[in-house]
Amino acid sequence: MSVLALQQKTVSQDDKKAIALNRSAELKERISDYLEEKEDIKTGYDLEENILENKRIILNLFNATQKDWLNWRWHMSNRIHDAVTLSQLFYISKETSSRIKKVGLRYRWSISPYYASLLRERTAVDPIWTQAVPSLVELEETGQSDPMAEEYTSPAPGITRRYPDRLIINVTNQCAMYCRHCQRRRNIGEIDRHRPNNTIRAALEYIRGNKEIRDVLITGGDALLLSDNYLDWLLTELDQIKHVEIKRIGTRTPATMPQRITRDLCAVLKKHPPLYINTQFNHPREVTHDAALACEMLVGAGVVLGNQAVLLKGINNKPSIMKKLNHELLKVRVRPYYIFHAKQVKGTGHFITSVDDGIKIMEKLRGYTSGLAVPTYIINAPNGFGKTPVLPQYILDRNDKYISMRTWEHRVIRYPNGQQSDA
């Protein structure tokens, strides 16, 4: 019996309960496949013993201590960036080592000791390995070096502007790890460089002169690899620009080097509300005890945390993996914000999925889990034309009086298009 039919007759309490119980059973069945799959999707918590063993191996190789491990500058100084060191830590074949060396001649790579400790498999089936270690397919000449045309959307030094009321300040090319899917791999180079102070001052002057700018994103590279003092100075400068309402920081350190989140850093960040940090976790394996502690410290400093996952083939392009990731993030108070479709960047074609994959994921999130766990699926339009949200098609037809729409369960319903008269 339809809900409309039920509303037009008297229904007993017992019948109402029976209907509710039937509906509950139906809803439970809808996620039975996920409940089975999620047990096989491991988080960093689940693999803590493996992480600790890798940590022991790494510390032994570098003749380091627990005190060193807690120091983010030690991790930066000891990033793994050659096949010899990698083979000393984890067994890899001579063939694999040779391939890594070959790719490294064209594309720089570097892995923080912390992120290396998350490795489990030494192959492309491991989502950690695939994001961190060069692969021969990177040498395939597909894609563009700058698909978002950032070079053409920079009206001032260090600035990228694609929208009316907000912009990016690019402050560094430095990262704790150079992800193999990086959208700005053209900027990495062979030397870590922060932007010169005169460039940053010119960017600030541009913001001062354009009063429509209310939202500034500080990114790179990884913005949290600036020193505490420099971050404090830059955020203070932005605080003093009256029309700037919001500051944001782009960083992957909670996932790749959570040791960067220190008490001193948090004391700086706490001084500059409202402050939002967007990070990037791409797989539940990246949600570890250390990552959770970093997020807890940032939240304690008054920072609002969001996640910008990148949809990556073989890593997270399954609905169950993305759902598990989003659930784990919410548990450490990180709000899933975006799922980015991977950009057509030269050397990253093996990561690119179909748009259908992204839509399928959204179909299995909306309605199947809480709205908090449903990010927006985004395609960055080429040539700097900005983010375009992509959704399953819910509105099937419409006129002045009614719309025809389908629900998350694929029920097709008719709904008033505005206030309906009684006539």
Mean pLDDT is lowest, of 102-106, 224-228, 275-279, 334-338, for 102-106
Q: What is the per-residue pLDDT across 290-338, written as a single tens digit (0 to 9) for each?
A: 999 999 999 999 999 999 999 999 999 999 999 999 999 999 999 999 9
Beta strands 246-250 and 215-219, pairing class: parallel
pLDDT for 293 equals 98
Q: How confident is the model at residue 10 (pLDDT cuts 50, 70, 90)?
A: confident
Segment holding 415, helix H or strand E: strand 412-416
**Sheet with 275-279, side-by-side order of all strands:** 159-160, 166-170, 215-219, 246-250, 275-279, 304-311, 335-341, 376-380, 387-389
Contacts 24+ apart (CB under 8 A), 394-403: none
Place of tokens 């040498």: 139
What pLDDT digit, counting tens, does each position of 160-206 carry?
A: 999 999 999 999 999 999 999 998 887 886 778 999 999 999 999 99
> Mean pLDDT across the stretch 366-384?
93
- The long-range contacts involving 262-267, CB below 8 angstroms and separated by at least 24 positions, are 262/72, 262/228, 262/297, 263/297, 264/228, 265/224, 265/228, 265/231, 266/297, 266/298, 266/300, 266/301, 267/301
Residue scoring higher pLDDT (322 or 382): 322
Tokens of 130: 């695939």
- Higher pLDDT: 192 or 397? It is 397
Please state which of the ranges 137-141, 286-290, 334-338 shows the lowest mean pLDDT. 137-141
Q: How confident is the model at residue 286 (pLDDT cuts 50, 70, 90)?
A: very high
Q: Which residues pair with 217 in a beta bridge?
A: 168, 248
Q: What angle do CA 354, 358, 280 make, to 5 degrees?
A: 110
Three-point CA angle 395, 313, 371, nearest 5°: 40
State the pLDDT at residue 232: 98
- Residue 277 is which amino acid? I
Q: In what order do the strands lie in the sheet with 395-398?
A: 395-398, 402-406, 412-416
Amino acid at residue number 230: Y
* pLDDT-based confidence at residue 11 (cuts at 50, 70, 90): confident
Residue 422 or residue 265, greater confidence? 265
